[in-house]
Amino acid sequence: MSTPLTRLKRHQSRLRQCHRCPDMQGPPVVGPPVLSPMLLVGQAPGDREIVIGRPFAWTAGKTLFRWFEGIGLDEAAFRAHVYMAAVCRCFPGKKPRGGDRVPSEEEIRHCAPWLHTELEILAPRLIVPVGKLAINRFLHANRLADVIGRLHRVTIEGRDTDLIPLPHPSGASTWHRTEPGKTLLAQALGLISEHPAWRQLLADANAG
How confident is the model over 105-141, as pLDDT tens digits? 999 999 999 999 999 999 999 999 999 999 999 998 8
For the chain, the domain total comes to 1
CATH code, domain carrying 84: 3.40.470.10
pLDDT given at position 107: 97
pLDDT tens, position by position, 162-186: 999 999 998 788 999 999 999 999 9
pLDDT tens, position by position, 88-99: 999 999 988 878
Q: How confident is the model at residue 2 (pLDDT cuts 50, 70, 90)?
A: confident
> Which residue from 196, 70, 188 is spatially nearest to 129, judged by alpha carbons?
188
CB–CB of 181/144 below 8 Å? Answer: yes
Percent of all residues in the chain with a pLDDT value above 90, rounded to a whole number? 89
pLDDT given at position 141: 86
Q: How confident is the model at residue 189 (pLDDT cuts 50, 70, 90)?
A: very high
pLDDT given at position 128: 98
**Mean pLDDT over residues 184-190, rounded?**
98
Neighbouring C-beta atoms of residue 96, cutoff 10 Å: 6
Q: Write the DSSP assignment of the chain as a string of letters.
A: ---HHHHHHHHHHHHHT----TTSBSSPP-------SEEEEES---HHHHHHTSTT-SHHHHHHHHHHHTTT--HHHHHHHSEEEES-SSB--B-TTSSBPPPPHHHHHHHHHHHHHHHHHH--SEEEEBSHHHHTTTS--SSGGGTTTS-EEEEETTEEEEE--B----TT--GGGSTTHHHHHHHHHHHHHHSHHHHHHHHHHHH-
Q: How confident is the model at residue 19 (pLDDT cuts 50, 70, 90)?
A: very high
pLDDT tens, position by position, 55-70: 999 999 999 999 999 9
Residue-number span of the structural domain to which 108 is assigned: 4-207
The answer, as to whether pTM is greater than 0.85, is yes
pLDDT at 208 over 80: no
